[in-house]
Structure 1
Amino acid sequence: MPVNGFGVYITDYSTNRTVELPVNPSELTLKYETDDKSETIVNLGEINRVGNMKLVSVSIDSIFPKKRSSWVSSDKLLKPDEYINWLKNIQSNKHHVQLVVSSTQISVTMTISSFEYGFKSGYADEYAYTLGLKQYREVKYHKVNVPAPPKPKPRPAPPKKLGIGSIVIVNGRLRLDSYG
């Protein structure tokens, strides 16, 4: 556990490996949204239809330092390439992770939706990165047996001979004479 009691941990569910981010981000905000829709009703005006919860998202901006310094919060400092390769491997293999922030209530199952890294201001002793995470929801389904619809009743056969009382469908011109 970090010295100040605050740490950001990511656990890969497939390998059960937990890694603490070496430098705590300056900000960490979870975004909770609903899928609301606005509609206009005649003689009432605009209304808001409350929607379902969207997936929670978070963006982490921080650095992977090459050397231990005073701002490193992790007890175990890995090489920057090890962090980068680990995160890229999780993303490319479509694994989901558990994001936990110690000494808080934040613990969310997520996927890595984006990962950017590189150098800033020409400083090569640390990699700057932005890690985008999005909530993962397990999808469960089961097969439902739907009975086949009943067969329709057969149509009655047309009469073999036309006569009085026969129903006739006319698709063209019709002429009447004295015989009907």
Structure 2
Amino acid sequence: MDNHLGFYLTNDSNETIELPVNPTEIMIKRESDDKSETVIKLGEVNLLGEDKLQDISIESSLPIDPKAVNYISALELLDSAQDYIDWIESARKLKKPIRLVISTTKVSLKSTISSFEYGMKNGYDGEYTYTLSLKEFRPFEAKKIGVKQQPVQTVEERPSPPSKVGMGSIVIVNGQLHRDSQGNGLGQTEQNATRKISLVAPGALYPYHVATLDGGSRGWVKESDVRSA
């Protein structure tokens, strides 16, 4: 049925179930990791961040005997509410992502089960009520970055005076990033990274906010950590 609205869960073994009763509502939370920063003579600015992981919350019911009630929405059923509970609990304990698909919509989300809460209300009326909370799964792979050894200088060279840099300057950054211009929130360490100065906080401990050349926020660094590219 092309127009059938169903809520499907598929586990790591490619086993799929359809939730027996469609929830009356489903909440999908999307937000960005934006940060506010105060810049001298400018005031508060908003630094746009990357997308955070999506959260989805599903609230519905599991009839004790799904085949004995007339308000079922699923096309195929498991034998009992306990079968659904066991399936979801098994997927949660495996600590592997599952996929939620809502037919007739564009929702197809690879996620982890962050919590599963169920019980009986109204003095046990033949069904469980439950809340299933899912969080988007975003695969990543950690890579070890080696530090290249610098050759030993055999001839002492007189350093060139640093070029003046400021707002909009393209610079080479060698140093640790911070969340704000006072040095709070330690971030990653840049090594010979080509960046652009996007904000300046004169007199601050870490006066330069640097970004990627296409505008992606990186963090605040010391004056001594930057040189003109």
TM-score by length of structure 1 reads 0.76
Aligned-pair identity in percent equals 44
The CA deviation string for residues 31-65 of structure 1, in whole angstroms up to 9 with x for no partner, is 11001111222222221111110000100000111
Q: Which structure has the higher relative contact order (CA within 8 Å, separation 6+)?
A: 1
- 1:145 Cα deviation (Å)? 5.0
The answer to whether structure 1 residue 70 and structure 2 residue 67 are counterparts is no
Match in the other structure for 1:173: none
Per-residue CA deviations over 1:143-166 (Å, capped at 9, x if unaligned) read 55543343576xxxxxxxxxxxxx
Q: Does the 8 A contact of 2:64 with 2:82 survive in 1? A: no
Q: Secondary structure at the match of 2:50?
A: coil
2:128 alignment counterpart: 127
SS in 2 for 1:115: strand
Give the CA deviation at 1:77. Answer: 2.2
The equivalent position to 2:21 in structure 1, one of 20, 23, 33, is: 23
**Cα shift at 1:29:** 2.2
Change (3 A) 1:101 1:145: same
- Given that 2:8 and 2:102 are in contact with CA atoms closer than 8 Å, whether structure 1 keeps it comes out as yes
Q: Is residue 11 from structure 1 mapped to residue 10 from structure 2 by the alignment?
A: yes
Task: After superposing the two structures, state which structure 1 stretch, 135-144 or 121-130, moved more.
Answer: 135-144
* Structure 1: tracts of 5 or more residues without a match: 154-180
Moved more, 33-42 or 144-153: 144-153
Deviation, 1:137, is: 0.6
- Determine if contact 2:63/2:81 at 8 Å carries over to the other structure: yes
Cα deviations across residues 68-97 of structure 1 (Å, max 9, x unaligned)? Answer: 322211122221111111111111110111
Q: How far did 1:110 drift?
A: 0.4
- Paired with 1:126 and 1:28, the residues of 2 have a C-alpha distance of 20
Q: What TM-score, normalized to structure 2?
A: 0.61
For 1:11-160, list aligned pairs within 5 A: 11-12=10-11, 14-67=12-65, 68=67, 69-78=69-78, 79-150=80-151
Range with bigger deviation, 140-149 or 63-72: 140-149
User: How far apart, CA to CA, are the structure 2 residues paired with 1:5 and 1:142?
Assistant: 44
Q: Distance in 2 between matches of 1:147 and 1:49?
A: 32
* Aligned-residue RMSD, C-alpha: 2.0
Q: Which has the larger radius of gyration?
A: 1
* 1:126-145 residue CA offsets vs partner (Å, 9 max, x unmatched): 11100000000111244555
